[in-house]
Amino acid sequence: MNDTAPEIDKRFRAMLLARTGEERLIMGCAMRETARALVEASLLQQDPHASVATLRKGLFLRFYGYEFDAETRANILATIESATPPISK
């Protein structure tokens, strides 16, 4: 869906391209971190006591889970679980 008027779209693109490559990279990184924070907040809202492994698996599933078949996805989730160090108390 694209409900942006063509002249506005053209103006917005020109504004983005007027930035340096470094500025565009910083913007992209900031957007990724914002998306991660929103997903993590959503996961914590569902389970306020979620472990680090649970959060990492949830982040993986939300961002990349659909890109893998069920077997590969299960292997990745098992690896995340086994690679997450326990929280020391």
Question: What does the pLDDT look like over 60-89, one tens digit per residue?
Answer: 999 999 999 999 999 999 999 998 776 665
Residue 61 lies in a domain: yes
What pLDDT score does 1 carry? 79
Burial profile 56-71: b = 16 or more Cβ within 10 angstroms, e = fewer: bbbbbbbeeeeeeeee
What pLDDT score does 49 carry? 96
pTM of the predicted structure, to 2 decimals: 0.76
Q: Calculate the average pLDDT of the chain.
A: 93
Residue 47 lies in a domain: yes
What is the span of the domain harbouring residue 35? 6-83
Of the candidates 59, 56, 60, 53, the residue with the CA atom closest to the CA atom of residue 82: 53
Alpha helices in 1-89 (DSSP H): 6-17, 21-46, 52-64, 70-83
pLDDT of 42 over the 80 cut: yes
Determine the length of the chain: 89
Return the number of other C-beta atoms located less than 10 Å from residue 39's C-beta.
16
